[in-house]
Structure 1
Amino acid sequence: MTVHQHAGKKARPEDRINIPKVVSDYFLKTPNVNHETEQVSFGTSGHRGSSLKSSFNENHILAIVQAVVEYRKKQGFDGPLYLGKDTHALSEPAFNTAISVLIANDVPVVIQADEGYTPTPVISRLIISHNQTQTTTADGLIITPSHNPPADGGIKYNPPHGGPAEGDITKVIEQRANELLAAELEGVLDVAIEEAMASSLLFKQDFIQLYVDQLDQVIDMQAIAKAGVTIGVDPLGGSGIEYWPVIAKKYGINIDVVNPVVDASFAFMPLDKDGKIRMDCSSPYAMAGLIELKDKFDIAVGNDPDFDRHGIVTKSGGLMNPNHYLAVAINYLMTNRDWPAKAKIGKTLVSSSLIDRVAKKLNKPLAEVPVGFKWFVDGLQDATYAFGGEESAGASFIAKDGSCWTTDKDGFIMALLAAEILAVTGKDPYQHYLVLVDELGKPCYGRVEAVASSMQKKILTNMSPDMITVTELAGEKITQVLSHAPGNNAAIGGLKVETDNGWFAARPSGTEDIYKIYAESFIDQTHLEIIIEEAQSIVGDVFKAAGL
């Protein structure tokens, strides 16, 4: 993709959204259930869309939340539902809609004390803590489209394990929600928001203090404070913005929130690679402002609006590639925590093979799973996984004592871990990365996208190894062709082709009419480009064989 001429530069007036229109369209536009793009559709992390496109409107939330209520009732979940929201413009009205439906259905709801924002990892932690200590069974909803542009909205369901709902759960919710939409919401119960907010079923708690007070169970906060590590934080206007000052005060850590602004238009953001406003904390373009300040802090960090992703900036190397940081984090944790030797390292199959090499070096078991954090939930819950991470800068790991921390991605602990690594070892994460690649080889990683029809996406989803007729990739013998992840034998919804020094994976997008090719080379950039070129040719041949 060509880099937009304004990428990395502050958003212009013409780049900003019309917030009043985005919010009014949430209430005024009604989705056409006969249009696939306007139906409820759960991807790898909930339903996302835009009110402007009739894909995220009041009717969607009414139907989805009613479907969740019916699901949890059938499952016998009798505890509270923890409800969180991020700072997108559509999150506020969707939050109120959700409360109205939940209260009308006699569901006890717990929200942040000041009706403020709540990050995804906090909801996960609250669910886990409740279900470990109480006799009732809690679950949760988070109103967020993650790092998506300002006009988007999203909602995701976390069942009692605290992590993203599995596919068999989301299919039930999705199907029922679309039935309710088709029935013009007959069967949906809701009450006026004033009545809901005054209900005895609505409870308010200080989520911030509850979460912050437990952080030293998973991060060596004392080491960070003692070493005097300075941390610059850009919350990118996200839901964790009020947490950082509390963390600083509680643990005596030198934290400077360099951007304290919450603005639903995210007008303070530098534009992303494609010229859009996108709160992607792993993008050097979106993180341009923080990168400029890197020399002011020992470690600088950023997070996306729901704080399930992390961006790490070091003095020595600038913004770290998410794959590189995952490898460093795993190497550090596995050598500085007293965890069970059999606890696995979890990675998605499109994450860097540098992680595989780290696991082999440390003689630790590795589990490679399909794309989606939901595949790590069970392992993190019972601590058979010590770590689970994705190439898209999302990860979590178990507590210092080997118990479950969160079963969803936690941008706070991944950010604070970077400071702990520096405090304990005297080297920042990028310096550790240089040591790793000197020993294990330097990866070159890339990802490309291409337009794909629904039929082409279906072909890709159901690809099998026998569809690959070539025996070499970029001059190397193909050693393995995978349609199922080796870590759990789950279908990957695409294909991965491997050689000794490179690989590519092709899979369709769950939310857009595109397919993605991920690739990596341990030889050089030129070899990577050849892998990508040949991967595109291989996928093209599969389409041709299918008459597409």
Structure 2
Amino acid sequence: MNDRAGTGAQESDLIDVAELIDAYHHRHPDVSIASQRVVFGTSGHRGSSLDMAFNDDHIAAITQAIVEYRTQQGIDGPLFIGSDTHALSAPAQTTALEVLVGNRVDVLVDEFGDWVPTPALSHAIIAHNTSLARAGSTGDGIVITPSHNPPRDGGFKYNPPHGGPADSDATGWIAARANALLTDGNRGVLRAEPSAVGTYDFRGHYVDDLPNVIDIEAIRRAGLRIGADPLGGASVNYWAAIAERHRLPITVVNPLVDPRWAFMTLDWDGKIRMDPSSPSAMASVLEHRGDFDILTGNDADADRHGIVTPDGGLMSPNHYLAVAIRYLFTHRPGWRADAAIGKTLVSSSMIDRVATSLGRRLWEVPVGFKWFVPGLVDGSVAFGGEESAGASFLRMNGSAWTTDKDGILLALLASEIRAVTGRSPSELYSELAEEFGDPAFERIDARATPAQKAALARLAPSDVTASTLAGDAITGILSDAPGNGAPLGGVKVSTASSWFAARPSGTEDVYKIYAESFQGREHLRTVQADAQHIVDAALSGEPEA
């Protein structure tokens, strides 16, 4: 924890916006250097222009690759495009539009020149592709955002016709083609002046449709005091529109937009990071906790949520997911009786216990929201959530709302829960803890070389030789997700009351250890220590003593 975590940003913490944008246009990557190539992680290609990892060359090549990919797939309808408030997002959108127009793609930008949250773009794709008026013209989209990452970063993500994040088959092809274009000096990229492009009212369509997924009337009747802090992100005008359109008592706590994020408090490591689930990043928001019945935060592209209550402060994402699941599956009669609860394997086991109490099937998948997409599309998974404060769920009638994470939706749900039950989400979690136990959860990092990270990603259950974890018998070892059989890219080890999962970082020389214990925080520390020993032994090939 940095000594300045939770304190206000100072001038020395802020980016030079002009330098960042100048680097975007005038610095060129060397594709022989791995860090300067196109790489799609779980949420698209990310990097900074200052590091030659997110420059005009990259975005032109990626967009050209997307054009060629959609042609291969027979996607001939409009491509919806939007961006968040990061400084690199606007120039990246201009580059992308030049390539899309140069390739004669029917592209739609925001009608009012507004920023576009990730869930609004997903909503637009789904709405178009389910409309009877589309006449077979399938659409897809691009959202330009590095999510909650620092102001110096840029991000670029492709969402195919299902509306959610592209799967690894698509992103692998796109990245390979983009790097081939870069290697050839982008001579295969077509560009033209984007003088005239089509428009779409992302905000209006999303806001007007909310009563089909949230009980807006219940919130209105309850007369709650609701605060929403966009954290300088793309949801800022959406919250104002939701308040006006649906006559809700919502106060936009901080309507400021600044690509430097000078108004933020520093995250745990001393960086500016717009993470609404971080107490340090949300420190200034938490000062207002007593002013509202429900207070929420979103990150820069509004795909994450932070829930603040006057009685409980900032809720752990795992705690809120468990409360949301219990509430939704008892207040959505239009959902299929066999619809499952989706979670990633690194989310809390409290969700497992809630699912059992509801008599619902639990559908566990690897890290990455893309795994929930098929179930959300066909209604077989009614809720999908990640421990990193990202989730979405179905409409009242059981059809798809968004197939990408929706922080606005989860924030509004907190007000619905408070309005309908008369209790805060924090109070409801206390009831769950009394019923099922109160687990301690934490993620830590451990050092690993690139070779060790690669070995960890290939681990099989037979590579783990330990029989106990923190004094308890090991009951399960997984390297594939039970929900869909997809590889975890690591390993998960469980006992009756605790578990840990280890997976390599995609950007740093560390591996991540997620751990949870229903025996308290001191026991959690033992789980974490044993986890590191077990993984180190597996990587070295030596039996665990």
| 2:290 equivalent to 1:260 | no
Of the candidates 458, 462, 466, which is equivalent to residue 466 of structure 1?
462
Identity, % of aligned positions: 55
Counterparts of 1:138 and 1:307 in 2: how far apart (Å)? 22
Conserved 8 A contact 1:43-1:511 = no
Alignment of 1:477-516 (within 5 A): 477-516=473-512
Counterparts of 2:146 and 2:128 in 1: how far apart (Å)? 25
| 2:198 equivalent to 1:203 | yes
TM-score (norm 1): 0.97
Q: Which amino acid aligns with 2:258?
A: D
Residue 329 of structure 2 aligns to a residue in which SS?
A: helix
Counterparts of 2:113 and 2:409 in 1: how far apart (Å)? 24
Of the candidates 317, 325, 337, which is equivalent to residue 332 of structure 2?
337
1:152 paired residue number: 153
Counterparts of 1:247 and 1:224 in 2: how far apart (Å)? 12
Conserved 8 A contact 2:439-2:516 = yes
Conserved 8 A contact 1:44-1:510 = no
Alignment of 1:158-237 (within 5 A): 158-191=159-192, 195-196=193-194, 198-199=195-196, 202-237=197-232
Post-superposition offset of 1:453: 2.0
Q: Which amino acid aligns with 1:173?
A: I
Q: CA RMSD in A?
A: 1.0
Residue 172 of structure 2 aligns to a residue in which SS?
A: helix
Residue 214 of structure 1 aligns to a residue in which SS?
A: helix
Q: Which amino acid aligns with 1:52?
A: L
| 2:308 equivalent to 1:313 | yes
1:403 paired residue number: 399
**Residues 461-510 of structure 1: per-residue CA shift (max 9 Å, x gap):** 10111111110000000000000001111101000000000000000112
Counterparts of 2:348 and 2:223 in 1: how far apart (Å)? 32
Unpaired runs of at least 5, structure 1: none
Residue 302 of structure 2 aligns to a residue in which SS?
A: coil
Conserved 8 A contact 1:144-1:154 = yes
Counterparts of 1:206 and 1:365 in 2: how far apart (Å)? 37
Post-superposition offset of 1:512: 2.7
Counterparts of 1:489 and 1:283 in 2: how far apart (Å)? 31
2:7 paired residue number: 9
| 2:51 equivalent to 1:56 | no
Of the candidates 364, 372, 375, which is equivalent to residue 371 of structure 2?
375
1:115 paired residue number: 113
2:442 paired residue number: 446
Of the candidates 404, 407, 411, which is equivalent to residue 415 of structure 1?
411
Counterparts of 1:172 and 1:205 in 2: how far apart (Å)? 29
Of the candidates 411, 425, 431, which is equivalent to residue 429 of structure 1?
425
**Residues 108-166 of structure 1: per-residue CA shift (max 9 Å, x gap):** 11111122200000010000000011120000000000000000000000000000000
Counterparts of 1:494 and 1:85 in 2: how far apart (Å)? 33
1:301 paired residue number: 296
| 2:362 equivalent to 1:366 | yes
Q: Which amino acid aligns with 1:186?
A: R
Number of residues paired by the alignment?
539
2:323 paired residue number: 328
Counterparts of 1:46 and 1:512 in 2: how far apart (Å)? 17
1:356 paired residue number: 352
1:141 paired residue number: 142
Post-superposition offset of 1:455: 1.0
Of the candidates 530, 535, 538, which is equivalent to residue 534 of structure 2?
538
Post-superposition offset of 1:537: 1.0
Residue 507 of structure 1 aligns to a residue in which SS?
A: strand
Post-superposition offset of 1:354: 0.1
1:518 paired residue number: 514
Conserved 8 A contact 2:65-2:178 = yes
